[in-house]
Every structure is written in C-alpha cells, then in structure tokens.
Amino acid sequence: MIRFYNGKLMSMDCGTHISSDEVWVDGGKIAYVGPPKEYDGQFEREIDLNGNLVMPGFKNAHTHSPMTFLRSYADDVPLDKWLFEKIFPMEAKLDANCVYEFTKLAILEYLTSGITASFDMYYEPEAYAQANIEMGFRTVLCGAVNDFKESVPRLEAYYNKFNNYHPLISYKLGFHAEYTTNLENLKAIAELSQSLKAGVYTHNSETRSEVEGCIERYGKTPTELFDSIGMFEYGGGGFHNVYMTKKDLEIFRDKNVYAVTNPGSNSKLASGIAPIDKMIEMGINVAIGTDGPASNNALDMFREMYLVTVLQKLANNDAAACPAEEVLEMAAFTGAKAMGLDDCDCIAVGKQADLIVIDLNRPNMQPINNITKNIVYSGSKENVKMTMIAGKILYENGEFFVGEKANDIYARVNALTEEIKNRK
Amino acid sequence: MIRFYNGKLMSMDCGTHISSDEVWVDGGKIAYVGPPKEYDGQFEREIDLNGNLVMPGFKNAHTHSPMTFLRSYADDVPLDKWLFEKIFPMEAKLDANCVYEFTKLAILEYLTSGITASFDMYYEPEAYAQANIEMGFRTVLCGAVNDFKESVPRLEAYYNKFNNYHPLISYKLGFHAEYTTNLENLKAIAELSQSLKAGVYTHNSETRSEVEGCIERYGKTPTELFDSIGMFEYGGGGFHNVYMTKKDLEIFRDKNVYAVTNPGSNSKLASGIAPIDKMIEMGINVAIGTDGPASNNALDMFREMYLVTVLQKLANNDAAACPAEEVLEMAAFTGAKAMGLDDCDCIAVGKQADLIVIDLNRPNMQPINNITKNIVYSGSKENVKMTMIAGKILYENGEFFVGEKANDIYARVNALTEEIKNRK
C-alpha cells in the first residue's frame, strides 16, 4: 500500500474540483480516497505531497510513438515535401526492432509530461507492445489498415490478439484514412465493427485537400462517407477533425464519435484550427493527442492543452473561448473514455492507479490563485513530479524507473537513426 | 575562472552554428572560447557538460514582471472585462513592496526558462530594480509614461538615474501606448528622445480597436503617428505589432525600430497574429517577449519560440514559414540588441557571461537530428540545466541560488496576493 498525504487531490470524478483527500494505492489500483484514517497494515511507502497536487494522468489520445526517430529531421519544409520526400522514405526502412527502440524513447517522453497512456497508430504491433510492457506503460493500439499495409482480416486477428494479451495493452479497430483506404476495405472494416460491436478510429478531415479529394471521389465528406457505410454504429473516433461541416459535427454528436484534437501538429504542418469550441457547444466529446513526433515535434500534453484553448480564442476572436476547466478534463478524463480506458478516467476506489503528482512549488504555479488555470496556462513538464501507472512509479523527480537507463535508450536510438539514414 | 568543457557550443556570433569549443568565464565575462588548452591558474569550477549545449541566455524583450500576482486570476473572460473589471482595479492597489516581491517571483520563473535578462515596463522602478539587484538578475527598465501615471520630466530623471545605477540595470525611454498618452506628452517624449539621442519603446498596434481608435483621432496608424512626430529618429521598439500596415512595416524597417512579438499573450487575449514572416522578409529586427503573467500566463521562452513559428505557419498556410533558426536568434541574439544589451548577445571573449546550459540528455531532445530544431520545436523548461548571469550561476539542476529560498518568496507572494484581494 502506497499512501499520498498532505497534499491536494483533483480526482476528476466530478470535474476539476479540488479536495485535501488522501489517496492510497494497492495492487495497481486505487484502494482509498478520503480524509486521513488509521491503517492497520504497514505502508510500503508514505509520500508527503508537501501541498502538491495528485490528479489522474494525461491520456495521449492520438500519436505515432515510433516516429521519434524523425524528430527534427524535416522541419520548416512544405507539407507535401515533408511527407513524400522526407517522412515516407524513412518510414519505409523501419523494421520491428526500430519500432521497439523508438517507442521506448517516446515512452520516456510521455512520462516526463505526465502522460499515463497512449493511443497509438503504427505497424509492427508485437514489437510496439513489447516496448510498452517492458517499461510498464499503458497503451491502446489502434488499427492502421490501408491499401498498402495491413488488411482487414489481420485487423480482426490483431483485435482478438491484443485485447487478450496483457493488462497494459488493449486494441481498437482503426484504419489510416479515407484517402489511403479504398471503399471495399472501408466497407469491410464497417462490417467488422458491427460484428464485433466495436468502434472504429481514423484520421479524419485533417487537411482541406483531404476533404476536397473525398468529395470529388464520393460526393461526401469523409465523415459523411464513413457514416453512410455504417462505420460509426458503435462509435469510435476521428483524429484531427480540422475541416468539419455542421453535418459532420452532427454525425459525431449523434453517433458518439470522439473528436481527438491535435493542435500542435495541425499548427506546425499549417493544417488549420479544429472547431473545438463548436464541438463543446454541441456536446461532442473531445480528447487531446500530440500526434507523432515527426509533426509536433514534442510529446507534451501541457503544450497541447495550452494550444487547444488559445487557438480557439484566436480563431473565435474571443478571450473567453474554451475555458481551462474543459481543456483539463479533455486531457485527463475524456481521453481515457475515448480510448476505452474507463477504469483510468478518474481517481476513485477500484480504478487503475494511473496518476501524476503536479509540483505546485515551482515559480510558474505561484501564486495559487487557481490551480486548474495554473496547469493549463502556465504548466509545463517541470511540474511533473511523479508519474505512476498501474500503481508503479515510473518517473519521479526527473528520474526514470523503467527497467533500464534512459541514456542507454538514447544511445541506441541515435545509433539506429544514423544507421537508417544510411540504409538503402 | 569557471570552465565549461566536454560539450557543444552555440556561440551565436554567426547564427546557430554549433562547435565543440570550451567556454571559460572570469569576473562576470567570457574569458576564452576555443579548443581545450592549458591554464596556468586554478579553476574555481570545472563543469563537465557531458555533451550538453552552452548558448547565450534568452532575452525576454517585453514583460511586466510584477504582474505575477495576477496569474490565473482572470482567465477565460472577454478582453474588456479582463482589463477593466479584473486587472486594473487590482493593479491600482499595488505599492512598492508588492512590486518588489512579485518581481522576485517572476525572476525565479525567468531563470527556469533560461531567460537571462528582461525588458520590463512597470512602475515603482526603485523597488523593481532592488529585487533584480538582490537576486543578481539583469534587467532593462522601460519608461511607462501615460496621462495618468508618470510624466515626461520624471522619464528623463529615471533615464539618467537608472543608466548610472548598477551594472545589472539599464533604462530605455518608453511610454505606455498611444491610446493612454495624449499628443502633447507624445511630442515631449519625442523631443526628449532627440535630445538624449535615445530610442523610444511602446505598446504598438496590439489590437484592431487600438489602431482604429488612433486612425479616428489622428487619421494615422499609431506607427505613422509616432513617426510623424519624430519619435523614432533614434530607433526604439514596438511591443506586439499585431495590426501593421505595409507603411507601418516600412517605418519599422527604415527607422530601425525593433518589433518585439508576444505570441502567447496575443493568442490568449485573442488579439491576433503579428506578421512576423513579413517582417523577416523585409529585414525588420524581431525580438520575443512573454508579456506579463496576467495575460500569458507563463514566462516561458520555449513556449513563445514555438508559438512564433507555428502561428506564422498557420497564418500563412505554409509549413515552411518562419524557420527555427530565425526564431532561436530572435530569442537569444536579437532580443539583446533590442534591449541595448550589446554585450550580452553572443558568447565571445569580453562579452557578459549571460549563458545557459541546455540539457540534451532528455527524451524530448533525442535523437540529435538537429539541435536548433530540437530546441525550438521540442524544447521546454526541463531542458534548462543551468542559467548564469554576469558569470554567476543563479539556477542549476532545478535549484535557485538567488540569496534566499524560493519557498520563502512563494509564501510572501501568496500572503501578499490574498492581502491585496482584501484591500479596499
């Protein structure tokens, strides 16, 4: 039993309310939340929070972790050149070992940012899952079917395999995007979704040209197309959702499709600003993802939270748009829901102990006028004092506890990145 | 003599080039830059950089440090309500002691973000200067004349006083803004500027309504008005510069007026996006500031650098806009020039030892594909391993060396903030 005491708690079981409750963790789960009380056993560790805040970890609801090797590899170039001349040729050279090593680097970065779970679309799922399991990180794999890689039968096999694989691993149906997946495949995925009664996730309306292309091909927006073939009968989610019509938004709302927003990536690639304020107003559930490190380039939920709100303020010419409380809930609570991690959404007895300690004793968190606003508008990775997943402390006071040294991972990633650059 | 060795150096004497040179610091200044060599004395300290990067500190070229007490006090409200109902009434209650204490908190935050000097517009300059001197922080005070506070004769007195005050302190002529300063005062400031042969700094074209109001009053934009009365004969600078006409930009270029951009504040207050890419193209010198903590809310140069570039990408629909190299130079090099700190712009023999160590051994800086891109697109305060000002280490490995404990400053700021809320 680990005890957190003498601090503040934002349990998120009812918004961003803060109490002075203690939190006890046992066997990977939350064992007690409430005022101090007697314990007749021996605590494994008693953590004096010294006034700091315990809250649920952030959920990175859209990413491509193995792309860490492309961080800072192709910045400040036009989108087409970035993708076709820089990113795709390098990605084509990856093998399972690369995916394993580059994922490990991403996980280190997630931990520094208080991220306790990722929703990850990539290939080589066994190698990817292995990296997560070894380091103790929680992840939801997302299917990545398209016309060039993977297939619908394999999607079903993965779904069955990785949903019965390891407590830290789960799997959601998914495909890359409309523009990389033909109608026959899309229909087969929709059918699979209905037979499994499982939601489907995909890149959706990220760029204007993507939407225009889809309208040209089908006379429908991507969202309309997916809906028309029964893709969203069991919900699911869209990543990006920058160019959304009113009808698209109504489909998301009516079919309970999660909108995962990626403001860092959408800004850096000049894609645009998603209509988050409109989504909130319509009651659409919004989660936040960093997208991959080739397009962001950081895997930092603090930056994403800040961007979510200030880009809405800019786009709507309204300093009151998209308040901090909404954004913090997206990052910690709704992200869990979007990923099917219903037992990681808040801090309550029986839930998974996926939590973070926010250091309030830093200049950027002072004075304590409003902790939620402090986190969203001033917070940074310097404020992540601890990251705990399934009751295990994986990061504390800048140090990693993931089974090996961070410097060893850096060395292997650098060597492998250089090697790939020279691979034919 | 302090020796930095076994690392990388971005001296910024010629852009963002990186070498493996050593840096030696003596008596507050850079004593040697070059390959390892013999030293016949005893080093006070030899710092093994372990591959990390030494570079000039960031310069925060526009801020209002004492406003830390209003961080997270009035977020997510419309601009008018924010300013007139929330900020102004609270500011009116400040005294010199408040300015002193709240500035100390800001300085702590600057140090965590690798900021080695601030350009600060506020009142109670003696109390403000005292806080900086006590903590060892470098600052340039900016005049804040307007029709309600301060005056032109006092501006001249301050100019003479604070330019002969302390090695860490200097002073620039300045006024609050066109909309708070009548033409008579503006003309008197322009005259003073010419008699002192000194540039003038002011808030400029921050919001659309400010520009429209000026055109209504004078038939000119603020920049045109200032230029027409001889305000910029000795250069100076504008803060914000969001709504700039082609003619405004030409005036900035022709009169060597620095454009200090504040993207965090402009975003959060929904003011707009300054035309930085256009400025670069025209050869205007651009520096970066956080603005005050009431409107940002963080004092974080990493966030500002990222925003400078990604907002240009968004506004111009061009992922190649405003490359990282330009942005890093704005933050570290051009900021110094804008503030008149010509001896703090780069790391070269005889320059002030105002430098930072960037920790590259963190996940967000890996792999090492491109260090400049890493800093601008992935960097965060977690990467500031050391901040040195005038040869003194004020921040290292998360700890402050500023003459007193950070926790004592937090406690006083919190108590004082609560007291002010209750002041009549």
Q: Where do the DSSP E strands lie in A205-300?
A: 236-240, 257-261, 286-288
Q: What is the DSSP letter of B220?
A: S
> Please, are residues A212 and A218 in contact by the beta-carbon 8 Å criterion?
no
Q: What is the DSSP letter of A260?
A: E
Best CA proximity match to A114, nearest among A265, A10, A258, A32: A10
Which residues of chain B neighbour A76 with C-beta distances below 8 Å? 309, 319-324, 373
Q: Where do the DSSP E strands lie in A262-408?
A: 286-288, 355-358, 384-389, 392-396, 399-400
How far does A362 lie from chain B, in Å, by closest CA?
8
Tell me the angle at which helices A125-135 and A96-112 cross, rounded to the nearest 10 degrees: 40
- Among A71, A366, A381, whose Cβ lies nearest the Cβ of B414? A366
How far does A305 lie from chain B, in Å, by closest CA?
12
Within a 13 Å sphere around the CA of A147, how many CA atoms are in the beta-carbon half?
10
**Do the two domains A2-56+355-400 and A58-343 of this chain adopt the same fold?**
no
- Among B109, B377, B407, whose Cβ lies nearest the Cβ of A297? B377
Of all residues in chain B, the one with the smallest CA distance to A67 is B367
Superfamily of domain B2-56+352-400: Urease, subunit C, domain 1 (2.30.40.10)
Which residues of chain B neighbour A414 with C-beta distances below 8 Å? 366-368
The verdict on A319 touching B (C-beta cutoff 8 Å) is yes
Contact B109 A364 (CB under 8 A): yes
What's the pLDDT score for residue B80? 83
Only one residue has tokens 């691979």, namely: A423
> Please, are residues A267 and B311 in contact by the beta-carbon 8 Å criterion?
yes
- Among A108, A318, A322, whose Cβ lies nearest the Cβ of B78? A318
Pair of tokens at residue B404 = 């007193």
d(CA A285, CA A282): 9
Question: Is the domain defined by B58-343 classed in CATH 3.40.190.10?
Answer: no
Q: What is the residue-wise DSSP string for B8-58?
A: EE---EEEE--B--EEEEETTEEEEEES----SS--SEEEE-TT-EEEEPE
Of all residues in chain B, the one with the smallest CA distance to A311 is B267
Of all residues in chain A, the one with the smallest CA distance to B80 is A319
**Each residue of B153-185: pLDDT tens digit?**
999 999 999 999 999 999 999 999 999 999 999
Helix (H) and strand (E) counts for chain A? 16, 19
- Among A68, A270, A410, whose Cβ lies nearest the Cβ of B319? A270
Which residues of chain B neighbour A269 with C-beta distances below 8 Å? 313, 319
Pair of tokens at residue A207 = 């760029």
- Among A314, A377, A414, whose Cβ lies nearest the Cβ of B270? A314
Residue A301 vs residues A59, A122, A209, B15, B119: alpha-carbon distances, Å: 8, 20, 28, 31, 30
Residue A324 vs residues A313, B69, B176, B327: alpha-carbon distances, Å: 12, 19, 30, 28
List of residues 6+ apart from A14 with CB closer than 8 A:
none
Is ipTM strictly over 0.95? yes
Burial bucket for residue A301 (CB in 10 Å: 0-12, 13-18, 19+): buried
Q: Dihedrals φ, ψ of A15, to 5°?
A: 75, -150
- Among B296, B377, B381, whose Cβ lies nearest the Cβ of A380? B381
Of all residues in chain B, the one with the smallest CA distance to A266 is B314
Q: Where do the DSSP E strands lie in B223-323?
A: 236-240, 257-261, 286-288
Q: Dihedral sign, CA of A222, A224, A227, A232?
A: positive
Best CA proximity match to B18, nearest among B7, B3, B27: B7
Q: What is the CATH number assigned to the segment(s) A2-56+355-400?
A: 2.30.40.10
How far does A335 lie from chain B, in Å, by closest CA?
22
> Please, are residues A332 and A59 in contact by the beta-carbon 8 Å criterion?
yes
Per-residue pLDDT of chain B (424 residues; tens, 9 = 90+): 999 999 999 999 989 999 999 999 999 999 999 999 999 999 999 999 999 999 999 999 999 999 999 999 999 998 888 888 999 999 999 999 999 999 999 999 999 999 999 999 999 999 999 999 999 999 999 999 999 989 999 999 999 999 999 999 999 999 999 999 999 999 999 999 999 999 999 999 999 999 999 999 999 999 999 999 999 999 999 999 999 999 999 999 999 999 999 999 999 999 999 999 999 999 999 999 999 999 999 999 999 999 999 999 999 999 999 999 999 999 999 999 999 999 999 999 999 999 999 999 999 999 999 999 999 999 999 999 999 999 999 999 999 999 999 999 999 999 999 999 998 7
Contact B373 A112 (CB under 8 A): no
Q: Dihedrals φ, ψ of A389, to 5°?
A: -130, 130
d(CA B291, CA B62): 5
The verdict on A54 touching B (C-beta cutoff 8 Å) is no
> Please, are residues A238 and A206 in contact by the beta-carbon 8 Å criterion?
no
This prediction's pTM? 0.98
What's the pLDDT score for residue B423? 86
The verdict on A311 touching B (C-beta cutoff 8 Å) is yes
Contact A366 B71 (CB under 8 A): yes
> Please, are residues A303 and A349 in contact by the beta-carbon 8 Å criterion?
no
The verdict on B198 touching A (C-beta cutoff 8 Å) is no
How far does A32 lie from chain B, in Å, by closest CA?
31
Contact A367 B406 (CB under 8 A): no
Which residues of chain B neighbour A276 with C-beta distances below 8 Å? none
Contact B374 A319 (CB under 8 A): no
The verdict on B403 touching A (C-beta cutoff 8 Å) is no
Burial bucket for residue A329 (CB in 10 Å: 0-12, 13-18, 19+): buried
What's the pLDDT score for residue A55? 98
d(CA B345, CA B138): 13
Pair of tokens at residue B49 = 């950089």
The verdict on B310 touching A (C-beta cutoff 8 Å) is yes
The verdict on A67 touching B (C-beta cutoff 8 Å) is no
- Among A73, A268, A309, whose Cβ lies nearest the Cβ of B310? A268
How far does B112 lie from chain A, in Å, by closest CA?
8
Contact B370 A82 (CB under 8 A): no
Size of interface A-B (CB pairs under 8 A): 226
How far does A292 lie from chain B, in Å, by closest CA?
12
Q: Which amino acid is at B260?
A: V
Contact B313 A77 (CB under 8 A): no
Contact B367 A413 (CB under 8 A): yes
d(CA B202, CA B179): 11
The verdict on B71 touching A (C-beta cutoff 8 Å) is yes
d(CA A56, CA A352): 10
Which parts of chain A have pLDDT scores under 50?
Answer: none
- Among B73, B367, B413, whose Cβ lies nearest the Cβ of A71? B367
What's the pLDDT score for residue A343? 98
d(CA B89, CA B92): 5
Q: Where are the domains of chain A?
A: 2-56+355-400, 58-343
> Please, are residues B61 and B289 in contact by the beta-carbon 8 Å criterion?
yes
- Among A270, A316, A410, whose Cβ lies nearest the Cβ of B314? A270
**Each residue of A290-341: pLDDT tens digit?**
999 999 999 999 999 999 999 999 999 999 999 999 999 999 999 999 999 9
Pairing of strands A8-9, A53-56: parallel
Pair of tokens at residue B4 = 């930095």
H helices of B255-397, in order, are 263-268, 276-282, 301-316, 324-329, 335-338, 371-373
